Amino acid sequence: MDSSTLRKRVPASTLLDWKTVAPAIGASVRKLDPRALITNPVMFVVWIVAVLASLLLVRDLVAGAAGIGFTLQIVLWLWFTVLFANFAEAIAERRGKAQADSLRETRTRTKAKRLLVPGNTELFEMVWAEELSPGDLVVVEAGDLIPGDGEVVEGMASVNEAAITGESAPVIRESGGDRSAVTGGTTVISDRIVVKITAAKGSSFLDRMIALIEGAARQKTPNEIALNILLAGLSLIFVFAVATIPSFVAYAGGTVPFVVLAALFVTLIPTTIGALLSAIGIAGMDRLVRFNVLAMSGHAVEAAGDVDTLLLDKTGTITLGNRQATAFRPLRGVSEQELADAAQLASLADETPEGRSIVVLAKEKYGIRGRDLAELRGRSIPFSANTRMSGMEVGASWVRKGAVDSVIAFLDSPPVDTGGNVAQALRPRLGADAVREINAIAEEIAKAGGTPLAVAKDGRLLGVIQLKDIVKGGIRERFAELRRMGIRTVMITGDNPMTAAAIAAEAGVDDFLAQATPEDKLRLIREEQAKGKLVAMCGDGTNDAPALAQADVGVAMNTGTQAAREAGNMVDLDSNPTKLIEVVEIGKQLLMTRGALTTFSIANDVAKYFAILPAIFVAVYPQLGVLNIMGLASPQSAILSAIVFNALIIVALIPLALKGVRYRAIGAGPLLRRNLLVYGLGGVVTPFIGIKAIDMAIVALGLA
Q: Which residue, 270 or 541, is less far from Mg ion as judged by CB?
A: 541
Q: 313 catalytic, yes or no?
A: yes
The reply to whether 124 sits in an annotated binding site is: no
Residue 431 beta carbon to ligand ATP: minimum distance, rounded to whole angstroms: 23
Is residue 490 a contact point for ligand ATP (CB under 6 A)?
A: no
Q: Are 378 and 422 in contact (CB under 8 A)?
A: no
User: Binding residue for ligand ATP (CB under 6 A) from 157, 403, 475, 591?
Assistant: 403
- DSSP secondary structure string for all residues of 203-236: -SHHHHHHHHHHTTT----HHHHHHHHHHHHHHH
Distance CA 451, CA 170 (A): 27
The answer on whether 386 is annotated among ligand-binding residues is yes
Binding status of residue 388 toward ligand ATP by CB under 6 A: yes
Residue 315 touches ligand ATP, criterion: CB under 6 A: yes
256: which residues sit within 8 A by CB, 6+ positions away? 245, 246, 249, 616
601 binds ligand ATP (CB under 6 A): no
Q: Looking at 495, 552, 574, 695, which residue binds ligand ATP (CB under 6 A)?
A: 495
Residues 329, 441: contact at Cβ < 8 Å?
A: yes
Cβ 672 to ligand ATP shortest distance, Å = 37
CB atoms within 10 A of CB 689: 12
CB of 346: closest distance to ligand ATP in angstroms? 8
| Pair 11, 95: CB distance under 8 Å | no
Q: What dihedral do alpha carbons 364, 368, 370, 376 form, nearest 10°?
A: -160
The reply to whether 383 sits near ligand ATP by the rule CB under 6 A is yes
- In the region spanning residues 309 to 348, those forming contacts with Mg ion, defined by CB under 5 A, are 313, 315
Residue 316: DSSP 8-state: I
Q: Which does 451 bind (CB under 5 to 8 A by kind): Mg ion, ligand ATP, K ion, none?
A: ligand ATP
The site for ligand ATP, by CB under 6 A, has a size of 24
CB 173 within 8 A of CB 194: no
Q: Which does residue 271 bind out of Mg ion, ligand ATP, K ion, none, counting CB within 5 to 8 angstroms by kind? A: K ion
Of 175, 204, 543, 641, the one binding ligand ATP (CB under 6 A) is 543
On whether 588 is known to bind a ligand per the annotation, the reply is no
476 near 504, Cβ under 8 Å? no
Q: Does 495 bind Mg ion (CB under 5 A)?
A: no
- Is 570 annotated as belonging to a binding site? no
Does the annotation flag 102 for ligand binding?
no
Binding site for K ion (CB under 5 A): 271, 605, 646
User: For residues 503-522, which are near ligand ATP according to CB under 6 A?
Assistant: 516
When asked if residue 71 is in the footprint of ligand ATP (CB under 6 A), the reply is no
**389 annotated among ligand-binding-site residues:** yes
- Residue 436 and residue 313 in contact, taking contact as beta carbons nearer than 8 Å: no
- Residue 392 as a binder of ligand ATP (CB under 6 A): the answer is no
Whichever of 81 and 575 has its CB closer to K ion, that residue is 81
- The CA distance from 344 to 355, in Å, is 8
Catalytic residue (choose from 136, 178, 313, 572): 313
What does the alpha-carbon distance between residue 258 and residue 245 come to, in Å, rounded to a whole number? 11
Which DSSP string corresponds to 466-489? EEE--BPTTHHHHHHHHHHTT-EE
Q: Report how far residue 610's alpha carbon sits from residue 603's, in angstroms, rounded to the nearest whole number.
A: 11
Strand partners, 197: 150
Stretch that binds ligand ATP, among 90-98, 124-132, 397-405, 605-613 (CB under 6 A): 397-405
Which residue has the CB atom at the shortest distance from ligand ATP? 494
Taking a C-beta distance cutoff of 8 angstroms, is the pair 129, 110 a contact? yes
What's the closest the beta carbon of residue 161 comes to Mg ion, in angstroms?
20
List the helix and strand counts (H, then E) for the chain.
25, 20
387 labelled ligand-binding = yes
Strands 460-468, 451-457: parallel, antiparallel or unpaired by DSSP?
A: antiparallel
Q: Pick between residue 235 and residue 569 the one whose CB is nearest to K ion.
A: 235
Supply the DSSP symbol for 434: H
> Three-state SS for 73?
helix
Please select the residue that binds Mg ion; options are 150, 284, 414, 541, rule is CB under 5 A.
541
66 marked as part of a ligand binding site: no
Residue 58: CB atoms within 10 Å: 11
User: Which amino acids are annotated as binding site for ATP, given as ranges?
Assistant: 350, 354, 383-390, 401
Which residues fall in the annotated binding site for Mg(2+)? 540, 544
Q: What are the residue numbers of the active site?
A: 313
Residues that bind ligand ATP (CB under 6 A): 313-316, 350, 352, 354-355, 383, 385, 388-390, 401-403, 451, 453, 493-495, 516, 541, 543
Question: Residue ranges for the binding site?
Answer: 350, 354, 383-390, 401, 540, 544
